[in-house]
Structure 1
Amino acid sequence: MKYYIFAASILLCVSCSSKKESSETAEVAKETSSQVRLITLDPGHFHAALVQKTGYPQVSNDVYVYAPQGDDLQEHLNKIEAYNSREDNPTQWNEIVYAGEDYLQKMLADAKGNVMVTAGNNGKKTAYIHQTLSAGINVLADKPMAIDKENFEVLKECFDIAQQKGVMLYDIMTERYEISTMMQKELSLIPSVYGTQLSGSQKDPAVVKESVHHFFKTVSGKPLKRPMWFFDVEQEGDGIVDVTTHLVDLVQWECFPEQIIDYHKDIEMLDANRWTTAMSAAQFKEVTGSDVFPPYLQKDITNNVLNVYSNGDIHYKIKGIHAKVSVVWNYTFPKGGGDTHYSIMKGSKANLIIRQGAEQGYKPSLYIEAVKGIDLTVYEKDLQEAMVNIADKYPGMKLNKLTSSTWQLEIPANYHVGHEAHFGQVTANFLQYLQEGKLPSWEVPNMLAKYYVTTQALEIAKGKK
């Protein structure tokens, strides 16, 4: 990889090792008006790099990066260099970097690309999106695109601007590509297997999704260094508006596939809560590299312990269905573990449950549990018949009967591509939308619906004493 740093009208060329020199790449790659040219803006989160963990035939290898100087930028470039220099299927990215305090203005003035990727400080993100769309540039944004009700209002303007400018705004919903979730959705759409969707109640929701994450983890095989601002909810956002974005999205995507959700009439907020995860100074140093807490975190420190509002739950109704989503952040995961997901969808014939605990080896596993009172002989026959069609669409899928009323879906290993690979799948899908010139009709209203849920939940939770 070769990347260039522009600052104060001075050009500094820094050469890095790669399988091919960028000059060779430039000779081979012929720019066309239809070629996608990426811009990366202020990459403060590792998700920005994961978009580039793979290459795309319709995307130029030249990527224009605009950011302030600092560790966030260097960490991003290090990850791209690792992808370029790996032995197995290396990428050929050529990062052309402008580093300076006027990075946003410079990006808008240069207009070097036609798709801006943003993953970083969430307190700045909505404004980044607004200005980029106003300049007529498409945006592929990491979640969340809004972390409070004020930014939600700006986000609504963003979608109006995108429509006026003829460009697209799309957020990176990786969890739609997790195979156990995909199969949960598939089975829920088969009446002979799932029956009809139950409505549930606030005490017994019909759809529950829970996610457990960890501050200290590995990414692309290396310990993740997080920026200090990540632990400031004014910059990163509360947990209730961050990871829950995925969970709210999945409720909509699974329960109401390709249906428009109008948050004005289809969403009823019921309750929400938030609470903190404690982090010692030693833990903070381990995950950030800093010996001291920065001034902006002092408001959240008691007895030299940082308390991060990273946890929360949301209770709401969507088109009459009671749903609950929750997120918990621990410092690090147990041995052999990682981030985990739990999900249950309750139908009139069966519950579809995803578990990912120690019993499952911390790998997501999907279970079909027939409800009490149904004829199990008939049900098993219907389930086996449904699996014939499932196996045609997803070769290798089969059932493992655990009890008279419980089955586990055995998913071949090749379908478990991993969280990092999902970023490439989302990006490839977005590129297809760009080629087609439009998003599906339900995507924009449903993005608005999920950010309405998360930002309204924060208001409810913060309003409690």
Structure 2
Amino acid sequence: MKRYRYLLPLVASALATQSCQQSAPKTATADSNMVKLITVDPGHFHSALVQKSMSAGIDSVVHVYAPEGKELEAHLALIKQYNERAESPTSWSEQVYKGADYFEKMLADKPGNVVVLAGNNKRKTDYISKSIEAGLNVLSDKPMVITPAAFPQLEAAFKTAADKKVLLYDIMTERSEISNMLQKELMQQPTVFGELQKGSQDAPAVLIESVHFYFKNVSGKTLVRPSWFFDAGQQGDAIADVGVHLIDLAQWACFPETAIDHTKDINVVAARNWPTPLTKSQFTSITQQSEFPDFLQPLVKDSVLNARGNGEVTYSLKGVFVKVIARWEYKAEEGGDTHYALVKGSLSSLEIKQGKEENFKPTLYIRPAKNDTAFATALTQVVTQLNTKYPGVAVEKIATGYKVNIPEKYKDGHEAHFSQVLQRFLGYLNTGLPAWEVPCMLSKYYTSTAALKLADAQK
């Protein structure tokens, strides 16, 4: 449905060639036909990563509305860093409004047509609803909702978006990671993967685990996190936050381009969460704050902050049992954030590992049920077919099956995935969202909030 024809020429140009990103104008523009970004309360570094590269079709003038403070300063510092870097510098012009009434002022001004949300999640669902009601498109970092009580508000926001013909979309960067993409591709190959197994609650057919670290580097510099990041009431707990990525991957890979109805296709059967202990010195190294703030005191015992950093949920998805685990630790001894994903088919299992053996790089393995000549022949044919879409991808025989060798050109890293999501969003402004995306977004957040409700009830 051509709902956004006024964007057609520019969006088409943006999608036609990646080189356009390197030839963006070096001065601020004021073309009324361009996509104009409005950044609201950018308390998370993801808000800046959306602007790490220039995109044809997006005005280089970005309006920022936020309260005064270190979070705004950190956001502007990252944008300045991108503008001043030696290689492929950006040319953003940030027009900033600072004040306690920043959100109300944004709604009154409406200086653009796309609101970007990545920050404190306590009011995010409210920001989404009111932005949509004002006729603005919304590109939101995850999570869109962090409590079961707010889920109906998100449902209503999607209905309003459809009525007003604007887009509401969340930033799912993990869909752009090449190992996840190839795992999904191989799952659609019946001669190699076979049929997706159903599994059981005790032995799920899909297991996905993510480990993140509080102390890390972003764009080459040590990240300073706000203290509210450790408050589940403001950031969301592990299931409602990082867990959303994993729930999304399960839906996206197991049932591609399929609308999922959360009222009948999902049944949450088990969920729990548990703390990540952080000493005061560790908290200080992460936040640059010497003391735990008052709102975190209920989580402090014997001078240790018990952050709500870990969670898991087991559920059935259209009859397939899935388990996702999201964990947070202080600091990686080696490498950085890690991802693990296992999906079980009747002919093989597909496993992504990112440990020391893989040099902390996501690596995809194929584990055949029968490692025989017939399987090898079928796999050779599938890899040949895959090379029409992903030239250079190959498989290597190992003791436990096969290792998928992926050319370095596809390994662009987590930070680059934000601009790739933005490119998809630009395309959807022209065409409208695929019919399956909205029900799948609702199903994803239903799963995370239902899991949170169950975990809390069992304490």
How far off is 1:310 after superposition?
1.2
Residue identity in the other structure for 2:372: L
Residue identity in the other structure for 1:214: F
Contact 2:39/2:115, CA 8 A, preserved across alignment: yes
How far off is 1:261 after superposition?
0.2
In the other structure, the counterpart of 2:404 is: 409
Deviations 1:251-298 (A, max 9, x none): 000000000000001001100010000111111111111011111101
In the other structure, the counterpart of 1:19 is: none
1:348 aligns with 2:343: no
Deviations 1:105-164 (A, max 9, x none): 100000101000000001111111111111100000000000011111110111011111
In the other structure, the counterpart of 1:31 is: 31
Q: Number of matched residues?
A: 436
1:448 aligns with 2:447: no
Contact 2:26/2:91, CA 8 A, preserved across alignment: no
In the other structure, the counterpart of 2:421 is: 426
C-alpha separation in 2, matches of 1:443 and 1:340? 26
In the other structure, the counterpart of 2:11 is: none
1:87 aligns with 2:86: yes
C-alpha separation in 2, matches of 1:385 and 1:164? 47
In the other structure, the counterpart of 2:202 is: 203
How far off is 1:23 after superposition?
11
- Report SS of the residue matched to 1:63: strand
- Report SS of the residue matched to 1:317: strand
In the other structure, the counterpart of 1:398 is: 394
Contact 2:353/2:362, CA 8 A, preserved across alignment: yes
C-alpha separation in 1, matches of 2:360 and 2:123? 34
Give the unaligned 5+ runs of structure 2: 1-23
C-alpha separation in 2, matches of 1:146 and 1:386? 40
- Report SS of the residue matched to 1:240: coil
Residue identity in the other structure for 1:453: T
Residue identity in the other structure for 2:453: E
- Report SS of the residue matched to 1:393: coil
Higher normalized contact order (CA 8 Å, seq sep 6+, divided by chain length): 2
How far off is 1:350 after superposition?
0.1
How far off is 1:435 after superposition?
1.8
C-alpha separation in 2, matches of 1:464 and 1:388? 50
- Superposition pairs of residues 378-389 of structure 1, within 5 angstroms: 378-389=374-385
1:357 aligns with 2:355: yes
| TM-score, length of structure 2 as denominator length | 0.94
How far off is 1:165 after superposition?
1.2
C-alpha separation in 2, matches of 1:230 and 1:238? 10
In the other structure, the counterpart of 1:145 is: 144
Moved over 6 A (4+): none
In the other structure, the counterpart of 2:18 is: none
- Report SS of the residue matched to 1:120: coil
- Report SS of the residue matched to 2:263: helix
In the other structure, the counterpart of 1:5 is: none
Residue identity in the other structure for 1:183: L
Deviations 1:86-109 (A, max 9, x none): 000000000000000000010000
In the other structure, the counterpart of 1:67 is: 66
Give the unaligned 5+ runs of structure 1: 1-21
Residue identity in the other structure for 1:407: Y
How far off is 1:24 after superposition?
6.9
C-alpha separation in 1, matches of 2:272 and 2:414? 27
C-alpha separation in 2, matches of 1:258 and 1:31? 35
Alpha carbons of 1:280 and 1:46: their partners in 2 closer, same or farther (altered >3 Å)?
same
C-alpha separation in 2, matches of 1:180 and 1:375? 22
C-alpha separation in 1, matches of 2:446 and 2:74? 32
